[in-house]
Structure 1
Amino acid sequence: MRGNTGIPTPNRAVMSRSEHVTLLLASYQGEAYLKQQLTSLAAQSHPDWSLIVGDDGSRDRTAAIVQEFAATQPAGRVTMIKGPQAGATQNFLNLLEAAPSGTAIAFCDQDDVWLPHKLEHALEFLRKTERPAHYAARTIICDSNMTPLTHSRRFTRPLGFRNASVQACMAGNTSVFNPAAAELLKAAAPAARAMRILSHDWWAYQITSGAGAALYHDPRPALYYRQHGRSEVGRNDTLRAMAARAVTLFAGDFGEWLARNHQALRDAPIPFTSENRHLLDRFEDVLIMPGPKAARQIGRLGLYRQTRAGTVALIGAALAGRLRAGSSEDHEKHCHD
């Protein structure tokens, strides 16, 4: 699946084998927007990529659109596999297991439009290290017609496992992983599928940060992020959106998500740093302790969200006993504030 870039590898590049990027696109009933996204992939300034589409049983023209696009690309560059038909997160995890080893990996949503330099900007960061590295970026939030509305929020607090344990802020639709980080995700995916985690990008941030990966959230936008009625995750920058996420912390769902993620991390063969392994072990106390003790444990562990208000809401939810796993139904959503 390797392409021919015609571009010499920079001397500083340490990525495995090449700077080929395997794009993983989860599709379902995507005919309304998919063609526009595929066109943006073809327009990338970094040309060494291939695409695997996991389709979850679409009954519209999704498959035909992919086939038509594949016919415009070099042979073998675009492939389609059958998705597990269990929601977007399970589809992405299945794609991870299907991805080849030794290449960088990028998640791709069917209804976005990538900016031309998305992959190039990611590789500027990823090629700097041999250890696992995870790139994400801001987005330009748009309406359903791709009219820009605003930029997504910029995160200013440090990235790391103390943040990743309680918040997703490395958006999956912008995330690109170097080969070393991609191998971590591939190894951890079976445990995540078994636990039916609710958010592949939150889990990916936990895996990479837990293993001590280099992390970067680019202030430059990477793509146009389309908001429409079937969006898996809505915008997070409005007062209404932030209030909704604060409510989620107290609704009981969040505790269920935390418990599933925690077990998936414990079951995965991931070389966590000793410090982060200790945090993971001690975080279990937060999930079973009475409210006041759970809140104190959050403080002792130094866990935080990217805003002061978010951290206060987290501690408040712990005090109220809402971080213990509940019996809520599965949802394909997560906390992205």
Structure 2
Amino acid sequence: MSTYDGARFLDAQLESLVDQSHRSWSLIWRDDGSSDDSRHRVRAFVDAARIDATDRTDGRHLGITASFWALLCHAAARAEAEGAIVAFADQDDVWLADKLARAVAALGEVDPDVPALYCARQRLVDAQLRDLGLSPDYGDLPGFPDALTQNVATGCTVALNPAAVALLRRTRPPLGTLHDWWAYLIVTAAGGRMVVDPEPVVLYRQHPDNAVGAPSSWLRRAIAALRRGPGAFMTTFRVHVEALVAHRALLDASSGRIVMRLSRSLRRGRLSRILTLARRPRLRRRTRSETLLFRLWFVLG
């Protein structure tokens, strides 16, 4: 768990960790240079609840992705030695009591030599934990190259088996991306498994300070995409493609060919991009309208 100026929501999240039905866990956390009393709240709670915890706080502000990645790399040795899974925990959510148990059970069904990423739906709530409904369902099982068009692995639900942690430790997320999206990209592009839980496992708090947040309908997602415009989207798309090219040695053969083809296409004209789309029908987003918008931006961008 990485904290940053999240004191007002931290107690509820920490209490939900203690209430997990899966009891064998430990907390690895760092504060990312908060100006409020986030780090003091975590330390006080850890001491009072006698939680097995490792504090990696060093006073630096790294940003959300780098902070989580530093924690992931620290956890990697323990995951490998103990066969433990690693789960991302946001500071402002509330985990349902069976969150860890469901992740452990689901990942336990995967061959331990295969990198696997677990993610699940969320119960969306407002800042006061009032119900806003369920997050959208996953539809067709997501994977690569769909992972390039949209992140469906919501970080507050993500858990990784030891093989996935070892794989991710060998990478470095590019600037401008988030830790959960990069994990989703690498695991699927390397031929790993996506394990999708259709049941909600967290209360995903929606408030003005969310790093991302979760639009609750296809219409809201479409409106949000239009407001962002093609520039921001295609910048992220290009960054991800080139970062995957740089990590091509970790990808499976099919994914390696796809990222090289996309990289060449993005350097060429619109005709090349149209041909690429014709050959890559799986470059999709969650809905048909979002997919059409993505394809338009890909050709124009």
Structure 1 length normalisation: TM-score?
0.82
Structure-2 residue corresponding to 1:222: 201
Given candidates 230, 245, 253, the residue that maps to 2:225 is 245
Structure-2 residue corresponding to 1:92: 68
Given candidates 291, 295, 300, the residue that maps to 1:315 is 295
Tell me, yes or no, if the aligned pair for 1:287 and 1:294 is still in contact at 8 Å.
Answer: yes
Aligned length: 292
Identical-pair percentage: 32
Tell me by how many angstroms 1:165 deviates.
Answer: 1.8
Question: What's the CA shift string for 1:229-270, capped at 9, x where partnerless?
Answer: 10111222232343111443x330111112222222223375
In 1, distance between residues paired with 2:270 and 2:87? 39
Q: Which has the higher helix share?
A: 2
Superposition pairs of residues 180-329 of structure 1, within 5 angstroms: 180-189=163-172, 192=173, 195-238=174-217, 239-248=219-228, 250-268=229-247, 271-302=250-281, 303-319=283-299, 321-322=300-301
Structure-1 residue corresponding to 2:17: 41
Given candidates 132, 152, 155, the residue that maps to 1:169 is 152
Letter in 2 for 1:285: R
Given candidates 139, 142, 147, the residue that maps to 2:125 is 142
After superposition, the Cα gap between the structure-2 partners of 1:70 and 1:317, relative to the gap in structure 1 and judged at 3 Å, is: same
Structure-2 residue corresponding to 1:113: 94
In 2, distance between residues paired with 1:150 and 1:215? 24
* Ranges of 4+ aligned residues in structure 1 off by more than 4 Å: 73-76
SS in 1 for 2:201: strand
Letter in 2 for 1:273: D
Tell me, yes or no, if the aligned pair for 2:76 and 2:165 is still in contact at 8 Å.
Answer: no
After superposition, the Cα gap between the structure-2 partners of 1:158 and 1:78, relative to the gap in structure 1 and judged at 3 Å, is: same
After superposition, the Cα gap between the structure-2 partners of 1:55 and 1:270, relative to the gap in structure 1 and judged at 3 Å, is: farther
In 2, distance between residues paired with 1:171 and 1:241? 15
Tell me, yes or no, if the aligned pair for 1:198 and 1:257 is still in contact at 8 Å.
Answer: yes
Tell me, yes or no, if the aligned pair for 1:286 and 1:298 is still in contact at 8 Å.
Answer: no
Letter in 2 for 1:279: I
Superposition pairs of residues 121-140 of structure 1, within 5 angstroms: 121-128=102-109, 129-130=111-112, 131-140=114-123
SS in 1 for 2:163: helix
> Which ranges of structure 2 fall in alignment gaps of 5 or more residues?
none
SS in 1 for 2:177: coil
After superposition, the Cα gap between the structure-2 partners of 1:74 and 1:269, relative to the gap in structure 1 and judged at 3 Å, is: farther
Task: Indicate whether 1:154 and 2:137 are aligned.
Answer: yes
SS in 2 for 1:46: coil
Tell me, yes or no, if the aligned pair for 1:187 and 1:268 is still in contact at 8 Å.
Answer: no
After superposition, the Cα gap between the structure-2 partners of 1:270 and 1:71, relative to the gap in structure 1 and judged at 3 Å, is: farther
